[in-house]
Structures are given as structure tokens and as C-alpha cells.
Amino acid sequence: MSKQEQSRSEVIRLYIEGHIKQNTAAKRMDVSTRQVRRIAKKYRQHGAKSLIHGNRGNVVVQ
């Protein structure tokens, strides 16, 4: 995981556990409050691996 993904994981964990509010999480990650809900839903279903960008490891052929 990149440092940004690790940071997001920590912020989402704090949000899910109720230590910070949705608005605070959105500001810390620089996303909208709606995006926080979407990220948290995926995090609950699949854990921290859901925060890794989907294109990681794909080779671009031109």
C-alpha cells in the first residue's frame, strides 16, 4: 500500500469506529462526504485491500 492508501485506511477505520465524523474524514482525505460513505462501505466489505487502486499492477501496452 502507498502512504496515501495507508493514511486513508487509518482515517476510514477511525470513521467506522466512531472516533471522527464523516465531515472530518472527508476533509482529511480531501474527498466529498458522499465519497467517504462509499469508501467506508467497500472497507467494511473487503477490508483495507479495497483502498488499493484497481489498476495497480496492470501493464499498459501501446
Tell me phi and psi for residue 20, to 5 degrees. Answer: -130, 160
Ordered by start, the domain boundaries in the chain are 3-51
| Separation between Cα atoms, residue 8 and residue 62, nearest integer Å | 32
Task: Kindly report the pTM of this predicted structure.
Answer: 0.78
Q: pLDDT tens digit string along 2-61?
A: 788 889 999 999 999 999 999 999 999 999 999 999 999 999 998 888 888 777 777 778
- Please compute Rg for the chain using Cα positions: 13
